[in-house]
A and B are shown apart, each in its own frame.
Chain A
Amino acid sequence: MTPQAAPLPARRIVWTKAILLLAWVGVSFVPAWFARDLDRVVWGWPLHYWIAAQGSLLGFLAIVLIDAALMNRWERAAGQDVDHSERHD
C-alpha cells in the first residue's frame, strides 16, 4: 500500500453525498409529485412526460458520474485506490 498522501476529506465527502442525494430526490420524486402542474408542451414535448421518461434518467446518470469522479479522485489522492487484481499473477 502507498503511504497516505493526504487524508480523505471526510467532511467534504459527507456534504457531497448529501447534495447528490438531494439532487436525486429533486430529479425524481419532486417532478413526479408536480406532474400535473408540468403538463404542458415545451419544444414539441409534453414536459411532464419527457422528465419522467428521459430527463430524470439522464439526471441519475449525471449524479452517479459526478460521485464516481469526485470520490475516485479523493481516494487516489489519499492513496487508497488499490487494484486487487495484482494478487492474481
Chain B
Amino acid sequence: MTDSSGVRARAWKLFLLYLVLLCGFVLCIAWAESAGMPRRWIGPIFLFATVALYAGIGLYTRTSDPEEYYVAGRRVPAFFNGMACAADWMSAASFISLAGGLYLLGFGGTATQPGGLAYVMGWTGGFVLVALLIAPHLRRMNLYTVPDYFMVRYGGAWPRRLAALSAVLCSLVYLVAQIYGIGLIASRLTGVQFEIGIMLGLGGVLLCSFLGGMRAITWTQVAQYVVMLLAFLIPVSWLAYKQLGHPLAPVAYGELLITISEQERKLAQSPVEQRVQQEYWRRAGDYAMRLQNVPNAMAAERSRIERRLSDLKARDADSRAIVNTYRELAALPRDEDTARERWTRAMHENLDRARQLGGMPPHLEPFGTASASDDDDGAASDVVRRNFLALMFCLMVGTAGLPHLLTRYYTTSSVSGARRSVAWTLAFILLLYLSAPALAAMIKFEVMSNLVGQTFDSLPGWILQWARVDPALVSVEDINGDRIVQFSEIRFGGDIVMLATPELGGMPYVVAGLVAAGGLAAALSTADGLLLTITNSVVRDLYCRDIDPAIGPEQRVILSKFMLMTVALAAAFAAALKPGDILALVSWSFSIAASAFVPAMVMGICWRRVDARAAVAGMLAGLVVTLGYMTAHAGWAREALGLNATDGLWFGIQPVSAGVFGVPAGVAVITLLTLLRPRRQTLL
C-alpha cells in the first residue's frame, strides 16, 4: 500500500502545481492582451505553449519497460485515470462539434441527419455498460490490449486476428476525424493553410506518443483534460453570466429554451425571412430546370458568362471584374457528370434552406411533431424517432467496444480501482456534457438577438476569417438584397460553433485562444490513444504473434515507432482530403466498434459455453452487416445503383447507425452456434 499512496501523493502535488501554473499562464496572456500585445500572437502562443507542454510531459515520463509502455505500470490512481479516460474519450467531436450539432439539430435532428441530444445521451450512457459488464472483468484478467482478451478467452488465432483488425479499422476512422479537427484548429490559430495545420498538430501527437507509450499518454491526457475543462467552462460561464446573470449555465438555461421557441415561432412568420426562403426556393427551381437538360444548360451558362466577358471588355471595365469573370468561366463544370453532381447538390442545399429557420429543426421539438401539417408527418416523425434511438444505441454500445478507451482501464492498480475509475470518468465527462446543451442554446439566442438584424457592413471580422479557412464552416450571404442579416441567411457548419463562441459572445481574444487550445487538447488526447491502440494491434497482436514471434523487445519498440509514424501520416493524408464532417466520421467508427467487439466480448464474459468458432462467426456477421449497410448506402454506391437518399433503407435507419443491425446479427449468430453445438463437446 505504501507505494500506491506514495504515487498518489506525488501525483496530487504535481497536479496542483500544474493547475496553478496553467491558470497563471492564462492570466498572464490575458494581462498582456489588455496591455496591448497584438492579437495575432495569441493564437501561436497558445498552440506552441500547449504542444510544448504535452511534449515535455511525454519526454519526462518516457519509458521502454513493457509493463510501463502498455499499461502504465498498472498503478495509476483511479481519480487521475478517470481524468485521463475523460480526455481520451472526449475527442474533437465532443469538444468542437457537440455544441454545434445541438445548435444545428435541436432536440432530435431530422430523418436524414439524426442527432441532437442522442449524442449527449449516447456518449455518456455507454459508460454504464463499461462499468457494469466490461471494465472490471477485463482488469481482473491482467491483459495488455483488447485483442488479448479474445486470445485469452477463446484461444486460437482467429478471434485475436479479427479483433486486432477491427481495432485498427474503427480506430483509423476515428483518427482521421481527430486529425481533421487538429488541422482545423491549428490553421485557425496560426493562419497557415489547412494542410500545414495538420502537419503542425501531427508533430505534437507524435512527440508524446512516440516516446512514452501508455505511461506518457496517461499523464499527458491528465494535463489535456484540465486544458479542455478550462477552455469549455470559461466561455460557457462567461456567456451564461452575460445572458442569464448566473455563471452556472446548466442550472439556469431552462427559461432560455422557452424564449428560443418563442423567437423561432416569430421568425417562422416574419415576412422578411419568408422572402429569403422564396429566393432559395427560386434558386432550387433554377437548378432543377438546368438538370432537366444538362448539356444545354452548360452551353447556356458558358455563353452567358462569355457574353458578359466580352461586354466588360468592350466597356473597358475594371480589370478586377474581368479577372473575376475569367475565374467564373474557369470554374464551370468540365463535363456533364460533374455538372449534374454539382447542380444536384446545389439544388438540395437550396431546398433545405428554403424551409423554415434555414432548414434547422425547431430547437425543442421532439422529432418534428409541431410541423405536422399533413397526414404523412406522423410516419415521418416516427422515422426521426427511430433514427434517434438507433444512433443512441450505436454510440452507447460503441463506447463499450472502443479499444482505446477499454485499455485505459487496464492501468488502475486493482479491480475496484477500475470501477471507481469509470465513475470518475463519467463525472469528469459530465462536467462538460451538462454544459454543452446550455452552450448551444445560448449561442442560438445570441445569434437570434444580436447577429440577426445587423447590417452586412458591420459584420464582425471573425466571420470572414473563418470563412477563409473553409467556406463550408460559416457563410453569411445577403440573399434578399436588403443589406440586413436574416436568420435564414446565416449558415454555420457544426464544427464552427464552439470555436467561434468567444468571438460571438464578445469575449477578449485570449478566450478564443484558450478555446482553440482546448479543442486541440481534445483532438490530440484522443489521437494519442488511438495511435497507440492501432500500433499495438498491428505490432503486438498481429506481427509479433503471427509473423515473427522471435522478435526482440528492442526491435519491437523500433517497429512500433515506425508503425506509429506510418499510421499517423496515412491518417493525415486521409484527413487532408476533408472526407466529411467530424461527427459523421466518429459515429461510423462507433457503429463498427459496437458490432465487431461488443457481442463477442459481453457474451464471452457472461456465458461460459461460447467458444472460438461462435465468437469468430459472430464478429464476422456483425462486421459484414454493419460495413455492408454502410457501403451500400454511401453516396457513391447509391449513385452507381441510381438510388435516392432514402431508398432501400431498413426501417428508414441512416447508415451511420448501421451498428443497430450489426450488433443483433452478431448476438444472434453467437447464440445460435452455441446452442446448436452439443453440450458434451464443451466439457472436453
Contact = CB atoms under 8 A, between A and B. Distances in A.
Q: Do A and B bind each other?
A: yes
Interface of A: 17, 20-21, 24, 28-29, 32-33, 35-36, 38-39, 41, 43-46, 48-50, 52-54, 56-58, 60-61, 63-65, 67-68, 71-72, 75-76, 80-86, 88-89
B419 A60 contact: no
B388 interface: yes
B426 A64 contact: yes
A60 B425 CA distance: 12
Given A46-B364, A65-B423, 7 more contacts: A17-B132, A35-B366, A44-B254, A45-B257, A60-B128, A83-B414, A88-B3
B254 A52 contact: no
Contact of B250 (A20, A54, A88, A89): A54
B682 interface: no
Given A20-B132, A75-B416, A85 B422 contact: no
Contact of B369 (A20, A32, A39, A67): A39
B107 A48 contact: yes
The majority secondary structure among interface residues of chain A is helix
B265 to A, nearest CB: 14
Contact of B128 (A46, A49, A63): A63
Contact of B416 (A28, A41, A76): A76
B75 A24 contact: no
A29 B391 CA distance: 11
Interface stretch (B116-124, B201-209, B460-468, B608-616): B116-124
Sort A-B residue pairs by CB-CB distance and give the 4 closest, nearest first: A85-B75, A35-B366, A85-B413, A45-B254
A80 B419 CA distance: 14
25 contacts: A28-B125, A29-B389, A29-B393, A43-B254, A44-B255, A45-B257, A46-B254, A49-B364, A50-B254, A53-B120, A54-B250, A60-B125, A60-B127, A61-B430, A64-B422, A67-B132, A71-B136, A75-B415, A81-B414, A81-B415, A83-B417, A84-B142, A84-B413, A86-B3, A88-B73
B369 A60 contact: no
Interface residues of B, number: 57
A85 B369 CA distance: 56
User: Which of B7, B132, B392, B430 gathers most chain A CB within 10 Å?
Assistant: B132
A39 B392 contact: no
B420 A72 contact: yes
B26 interface: no
A31 B166 CA distance: 33
Interface string B5-19: 001000000000000
A41 B392 CA distance: 24
Given A32-B388, A85-B3, A61 B254 contact: no
Contacts, number: 152
A56 B121 contact: yes
Nearest to A55: B121
Contacts of B369: 36, 39
Interface in B400-437: 413-417, 419-420, 422-423, 426-427, 430, 433-434, 437
Given A35-B367, A52-B121, A88-B3, A67 B413 contact: no
A10 B389 CA distance: 33
Contacts of A75: 415-416
Contact of B396 (A28, A81, A83): A28
A46 B437 CA distance: 13
Interface of B: 1-4, 7, 73-75, 107-108, 117-118, 120-121, 124-125, 127-129, 131-133, 136, 142, 250, 254-255, 257-258, 261, 364-367, 369, 381, 385, 388-389, 392-393, 396, 413-417, 419-420, 422-423, 426-427, 430, 433-434, 437
A20 B128 contact: yes
A86 B127 CA distance: 28
A42 to B, nearest CB: 9
B389 A52 contact: no
Nearest to A35: B366
A63 to B, nearest CB: 5
Contacts of B121: 28, 32, 52, 56-57
B386 to A, nearest CB: 10
Nearest to A41: B258
Contacts of A63: 128, 131-132
Contacts of A48: 107, 364, 366
A84 B125 contact: no
Contacts of B385: 32-33, 35-36
A64 B258 contact: no
Contacts of B426: 60-61, 64
Contacts of B430: 57-58, 61
